Amino acid sequence: MTEKPTCEELEKRVRDLEEEVLRCRQTIEALTEKEARLSKMANQVPEMLFQFVAHSDGSFSVPYFNDQLYQYTGYKPEELMKSPAIMGKSIHSDDIELVRSKIEESLKTLNELSLDWRLIGPDNGVRWIQSKAIPQLMENGDVHWDGISVDITERKLAEEAVRESQRKYHALFDKMLDGCSLHEIICDENGKPVNYRFIDVNPAFNKLTGYRDKDIIGKTVLELIPNTDPFLIETFGKVALTGEPVSFEYYAKDTGQHHVISAYQPEERQFATIFQDVTERKKVQEELEQSQEYLKAIMKNTSDYIVIRDKDGFPALFNSSAERIAKKALGIDLNATMKPHKFLADKKEVALLDNLHKRALNGEEFKIEYSYPITDDDLRHFEITYNPILQDGKVNGFIQVARDITERRKMEEILKKSHDELEKRVKERTKELRKSNEALQEKTLDLQEVNTALKVLLERRDKDKEDIGQNVILNVKELMVPYITKLKKGTLTERQQSYLELLETGLQQIISPFSQRLSSRYLSITPGEMQVANLLKEGKTSKEIAEILNSTERAVVAHRSNLRKKLGLKKKNNLRTYLLSLQ
């Protein structure tokens, strides 16, 4: 049987219990205070702190969320703890499946839950959230996650910006027209740059150099070009080691090309180069410089007044002739800070020059004549042309060229005076010629009348000639031929007989159509040549003709030669055959 405690023992136990209750109360108060401090601290951090539980029966609960839940989702912690399913409304529709699969994976493996997902805020704005939670398996089979969610929207935007920048960089790198390449510098044991290696090149680099990626990337410049200029290695080495960018113009002797090269340090001990092939531009520049020299020489040696003005009308370039004439004629300085013609005293002249400049700056091309009094006794005349200068289709100034035409004006005046005088003389001479022409016309009428009378007389003479010829032939036939016939019947000596035949032949020739035709066609034939022609036609030889005509054979041959010439016969033409054709 157990002994009953004494009063002293009971009192001692009561005091011990009171002390234990006090310690418990103090501990509770301390824990409550600590919990309050922790809760206050948790609500002051910018991150969202949470705890959720996967129960063994498959349900979920949310025992804790700090006050940042409201800032993130617009829900109060007690609302979410009461109805955990409403959290799904704040998850971006494209990320719901990701969140579910990550929770299931962590529940199955008890590994850390870690994911980036998008949350729809109370303002319907999208935030990127990174959540991390550690799972813990409880004795009752529940799994507790204690975790933190951080707003990483700015980081995500920065990452996206970096990716976009990289995308644009690669697009620029690949599509830029300039050659671009990335290298790493190679130094010797003393740190002196001695070589460099190709890391990457763009397509423009391939096109400009002729190297393909596989032929160049990973190789050093001395492997590809053993005689590389040491200046390039030294210059690029300084960029890669110091970070100081450079830009310079370089002439490649082996290719004859001019390049503008820029180099900078993208990372330590690396350098990137951008180079342009400016060979054509260099040629154009040299041609332009040469043209400018030609222009300067022309402007220097010409007596014309040449001024090139800018788009505001100010003299940008002028020759010594222009400067001299401007000072001498107008008393103005082309180097003035304001438009030189503004210094003119005559406001009308200023307005005129302003209008001319305006026309030229509007793109009009024109020419005027202008007079300047050099001295009181010397008035000079100038022909001034205005030609606009176009750049990209817009007027960027104009060229003003003045030529002294004073001597030409004087010559024109002299020519005009001479012309007027000549016109006067021409008018006077025309008047005289008109009178002479009228007199000539009268004389012409008289001559026409005389010519008509002569024509009538000639026709009458030809008729009389024909009548006389017919009468002669008739008389010969009727009066002489019968007597010759009677004489032939009488007794004649041989010589008389010969003379009689000759006489008869001559008379027959007179009355024959052959003689008439020959004499009418060829008036230059002499009587002797006519006798020879008649005898030739009869078939007589030169010797026989000479005997009949009581002449020499040589004289007969001469007559024959003259006949051939007068008849226009060539050597191959037979004289007798031609004469027979005239019968």
| Assigned architecture for domain 45-152 | 2-Layer Sandwich (3.30)
Q: With a cut of 90, say whether residue 246 has pLDDT above it.
A: yes
Residue 324 confidence (pLDDT): 75
Confidence grade of residue 88 (pLDDT, cut at 50, 70, 90): confident
Query: What is the average pLDDT across 380-386?
Result: 86
Q: Among all chains, which residue has been given the structure tokens 């063994």?
A: 56
Closest CA to 54 of 92, 100, 95: 100
Tens digit of pLDDT for each residue in 10-39?
777 777 777 777 777 777 766 666 666 655
Q: Is 169 helix (H, G, I), strand (E, B) or coil?
A: helix
Tens digit of pLDDT for each residue in 113-141?
999 989 888 888 888 989 999 999 988 88
CA distance 32 to 155: 38
Query: What is the average pLDDT across 474-492?
Result: 68
CA distance 580 to 583: 6
Beta strands in 365-496 (DSSP E): 366-375, 378-391, 394-404
Residue 331 confidence (pLDDT): 63
Query: What is the average pLDDT across 36-47?
Result: 61
Closest CA to 208 of 265, 264, 249, 255: 255
Q: What is the pTM of this model?
A: 0.37
Q: With a cut of 80, say whether residue 476 has pLDDT above it.
A: no
Residue 368 confidence (pLDDT): 87
Residue 346 confidence (pLDDT): 66
Residue 428 confidence (pLDDT): 87
Tens digit of pLDDT for each residue in 418-429?
888 888 888 888
CA distance 26 to 16: 15
Residue 170 confidence (pLDDT): 67
What is the 8-class DSSP label of residue 313? S
Q: With a cut of 60, say whether residue 520 has pLDDT above it.
A: no
CA distance 56 to 404: 113
What are the CA-CA distances from residue 366 to residues 357, 369, 380, 384, 401 (Å)?
11, 11, 20, 9, 11
What is the 8-class DSSP label of residue 47? S
Considering only residues 383 and 498, tell me which one the structure prediction assigns the higher pLDDT.
383
Q: With a cut of 80, say whether residue 439 has pLDDT above it.
A: yes
**From 3.30.450.20, 3.30.70.20, 3.30.43.10, 3.30.70.360, which CATH number describes the 176-282 domain?**
3.30.450.20
Lowest-confidence segment of 51-55, 214-218, 314-318 by average pLDDT: 314-318
Query: What is the average pLDDT across 455-471?
Result: 72
Other CB atoms within 10 A of residue 26 CB: 10
Q: Among all chains, which residue has been given the structure tokens 């009228």?
A: 438
Give domain limits for the chain.
1-40, 45-152, 176-282, 302-404, 480-581
Residue 112 confidence (pLDDT): 92
What are the CA-CA distances from residue 190 to residues 130, 183, 186, 187, 196 (Å)?
49, 20, 11, 7, 16
Q: Is 128 helix (H, G, I), strand (E, B) or coil?
A: strand
Q: With a cut of 90, say whether residue 379 has pLDDT above it.
A: no
Residue 230 confidence (pLDDT): 92
CA distance 324 to 331: 9
* Partners of residue 195 on adjacent β-strands: 186
Q: Which amino acid is at 53?
A: V
CA distance 272 to 266: 7
Lowest-confidence segment of 39-53, 76-90, 538-552 by average pLDDT: 39-53
Residue 188 confidence (pLDDT): 93
Q: Is 222 helix (H, G, I), strand (E, B) or coil?
A: helix
CA distance 325 to 304: 10
Confidence grade of residue 507 (pLDDT, cut at 50, 70, 90): low
Residue 141: left (phi > 0), alpha (psi -120 to 50), or beta?
left
Q: What is the mean pLDDT of the chain?
A: 80
Considering only residues 101 and 335, tell me which one the structure prediction assigns the higher pLDDT.
101
Please tell me the number of Cα atoms within 13 Å of 491 on its side-chain side: 0
* CA-angle at 448, arms to 446 and 451, nearest 5°: 110
Residue 315 confidence (pLDDT): 80
Q: Report the Cα–Cα distance between both ends of the chain, in Å, rounded.
A: 211
Answer whether 176-282 and 302-404 agree in fold: yes
CA distance 179 to 170: 13
Confidence grade of residue 571 (pLDDT, cut at 50, 70, 90): confident
Q: Is 51 helix (H, G, I), strand (E, B) or coil?
A: strand
Q: Is 365 helix (H, G, I), strand (E, B) or coil?
A: coil
Helices (H), 302-346: 320-325
Residue 40 confidence (pLDDT): 59
Q: With a cut of 70, say whether residue 522 has pLDDT above it.
A: no
**Which class does domain 302-404 fall in?**
alpha beta
Report the topology of domain 480-581.
Arc Repressor Mutant, subunit A (1.10.10)
Lowest-confidence segment of 179-188, 209-218, 323-332 by average pLDDT: 323-332
> What order of strands is seen across the sheet that includes strand 60-65?
60-65, 48-54, 143-151, 126-137, 113-120
Other CB atoms within 10 A of residue 556 CB: 25
Dihedral sign for Cα atoms in the order 97, 98, 99, 104: positive
Lowest-confidence segment of 97-106, 220-229, 318-327, 419-428 by average pLDDT: 318-327
Considering only residues 144 and 374, tell me which one the structure prediction assigns the higher pLDDT.
144
Considering only residues 443 and 165, tell me which one the structure prediction assigns the higher pLDDT.
443
* Partners of residue 546 on adjacent β-strands: none
* Residue 534 burial by Cβ neighbours in a 10 Å radius (0-12, 13-18, 19+): buried
Query: What is the average pLDDT across 45-56?
Result: 83
Residue 513 confidence (pLDDT): 58
Considering only residues 319 and 29, tell me which one the structure prediction assigns the higher pLDDT.
319
